[in-house]
Amino acid sequence: MGPFRTLYIDMNSFFASVEQQVDPSIRGRPVAITAMENEKGCCVAASYEAKAFGVGTGTSVVDARRMCPGIVFLPSRHRLYVRYNLQVAAVLDRFCELERIRSVDEFQVALSGEARALAGARALVASLKGAVAAEVGECLRFSAGIGPNHLLAKIAGKLEKPNGFQWLSADNMPDRISHLELDDLPGISKSMKARLLRAGVYDVGTLCRLDPRHARIIWRSVEGERFVRMLQGMNIEITPTKRSGYGNSKVLAPELRQPREAYLVSRWLIEKATSRLRRDGRVASSFSLHLSPMDAPRWARSIKTASTQDTAEFLRINRALWIRAWPYVRWKKLLGIGVHLGDVDMLENRIGDLLAPLAPAERSAGERASAAVDFINQRFGEGTVTYGINRPHPGFFERG
């Protein structure tokens, strides 16, 4: 049995558990985390006490209140959850080799020594559970899975919740996961499931036994071959991804759904996206605006530009796109908006411009001014300096 290479840790109802850890008065009670503080929103997370009543991610606030009388609704505090994520990561890294923080509630650990055998891995997981409870909080529990690669370890980690431990290897595959639906597997979307069904792959067992070369054809990508080979137990390293762009999107609060208010929110989103762009030393050469009216098709347009990290330049492009969109959206309420800076590259790779004039990798006056704004806001607080009028819409990711 084994050897096992990867331990995957999946925190149980993480957002709700953090809130219960912070506030002892709601421990043992059904709790739902919402993205918006009104009856129009939906749940983005739920405690196991709430899940027992059928409340889950995507359940509307109205339905959750009906399904689970006495449920406690709390607004999301993403920064709080990130702080707890880092505390858990610090504990894990002290006991073993923390390879990756896969998300705010998932961690990937490399196994070595005695932990590559089932008994040793089981003992390690028990130690980690005890340490997280003692050092981070007794409400913080996780399910763990081990496998010969990260994919099988992740699948194993979702087989027994909450607070479980499972393993997958050649000794119990594919029978151990034959009860799962194709789209229960990570990476299999509804559209990919439909493609697999058209190819005659109707269940997980058939997928596990598929010729990897056939999978490449079905996926129309080498990723299909990689996926099936990992299901069959091969250890394939995660391919590093290249950053394709910087974006922000927002489901608008009811009071900000008029186009004039939504336009001010878009300016705020651009300030945040361009600040991250500069932080990473990158430039972008395209800008996209997405507007989602209520009860009407989405409006979206993109514009190419010279590569830049100048916030003022992207604000000018945003204004131009809003002028084009105005006849379509002026009488509509907007449910959501999004901005995206695309075609990114490193500033150090930008060639010079004789007409500007700019030397290779040299910042323009506007880019230097933008960097100065970043410095002031970092030192004295976000929003100390803004690029004219905007409308902050913190919501999910800025609370805490």
Task: Return the CATH number at 191.
Answer: 1.10.150
126 and 12 in a common domain: yes
How do residues 270-292 score in pLDDT, each as one tens digit?
Answer: 999 999 999 989 999 999 999 99
- Is residue 400 a part of any domain in this protein? no
- Is residue 397 a part of any domain in this protein? no
83 and 59 in a common domain: yes
365 and 227 in a common domain: no
How do residues 326-379 score in pLDDT, each as one tens digit?
Answer: 999 999 999 889 999 998 999 888 887 766 677 888 899 999 999 999 999 888
- For the stretch 360-363, contacts whose Cβ atoms lie closer than 8 Å and that sit 24 or more positions apart, written own/partner, are 363/309
Q: How far is CA 179 from CA 151, 169, 183, in A?
A: 17, 16, 12
- For residue 15, what are its two tokens? 């957002």
Matching residue, tokens 């916030």 = 311
Chain mean pLDDT for the chain: 89
End-of-domain residue from the set 125, 150, 166: 166
End-of-domain residue from the set 115, 133, 166: 166
Cis geometry, peptide bond prior to residue 30 (ω within 30 degrees of 0)? no
295 SS3 class:
coil
Number of domains in the chain: 3
**d(Cα 388, Cα 86) in Å, to the nearest integer?**
35
- pTM above the 0.85 mark? no
Q: How far is CA 101 from CA 16, 25, 82, 107, in A?
A: 19, 30, 11, 5
382 and 281 in a common domain: yes
**d(Cα 299, Cα 338) in Å, to the nearest integer?**
11
205 and 144 in a common domain: no
- Is residue 327 a part of any domain in this protein? yes
Cis geometry, peptide bond prior to residue 394 (ω within 30 degrees of 0)? no
343 and 211 in a common domain: no
Give the ranges where 108-221 is alpha helix by DSSP (H). Answer: 118-135, 150-157, 190-198, 204-208, 212-219
- Is residue 383 a part of any domain in this protein? yes
Residue of 48, 44, 5, 18 lying closest to 163 (CA atoms):
48
End-of-domain residue from the set 239, 264, 281: 239
- For residue 118, what are its two tokens? 């089932």
Confidence of residue 198 (pLDDT cuts 50, 70, 90): very high
Residue 44: the pLDDT is 86
48 and 129 in a common domain: yes
How do residues 251-273 score in pLDDT, each as one tens digit?
Answer: 787 888 999 999 999 999 999 99
181 and 147 in a common domain: no
- For residue 194, what are its two tokens? 């439909």
CATH classification of the domain holding 86: 3.30.70.270
CATH classification of the domain holding 368: 3.30.1490.100
Q: What percent of the chain has pLDDT over 90?
A: 65
**In terms of C-beta density within 10 A (0-12 exposed, 13-18 middle, 19 or more buried), how is residue 305 classed?**
middle
- Is residue 322 a part of any domain in this protein? yes
How do residues 85-120 score in pLDDT, each as one tens digit?
Answer: 999 999 999 888 888 888 889 999 999 889 999 999
184 and 51 in a common domain: no
Confidence of residue 209 (pLDDT cuts 50, 70, 90): very high
**d(Cα 145, Cα 132) in Å, to the nearest integer?**
17
DSSP structural state of residue 96: S
The H-or-E segment that residue 12 falls in is: none
**d(Cα 373, Cα 369) in Å, to the nearest integer?**
6
Mean pLDDT (whole number) for 178-191 = 90
Q: How far is CA 365 from CA 24, 260, 357, 370, in A?
A: 53, 30, 11, 9
Cβ contacts of 106 within 8 Å, gap of 6 or more:
8, 9, 10, 11, 154
Following DSSP, what letter does each residue of 27-55 receive, concatenated?
A: TTS-EEEESSSSTT-BEEEE-HHHHTTT-
Mean pLDDT (whole number) for 209-238 = 90
93 and 132 in a common domain: yes
> Is residue 155 a contact partner of residue 177, using CB atoms and an 8 Å limit?
yes
- Is residue 398 a part of any domain in this protein? no
DSSP structural state of residue 135: H
- Residue 240, pLDDT > 60, answer no
| Domain with 201 in it | 173-239
Q: Considering just the CA atoms, what is the radius of gyration of the chain in Å?
A: 24
- Is residue 206 a part of any domain in this protein? yes
248 SS3 class:
strand
289 SS3 class:
strand
> Is residue 171 a contact partner of residue 22, using CB atoms and an 8 Å limit?
no
45 and 153 in a common domain: yes
285 and 217 in a common domain: no
Strands 282-293 and 345-346: antiparallel
- Is residue 323 a part of any domain in this protein? yes
Residues with a known catalytic role: 106
Name the strands in the sheet holding 6-11, side by side, starting at the edge strand that comes first in the sequence.
97-103, 106-110, 6-11, 142-147, 165-167
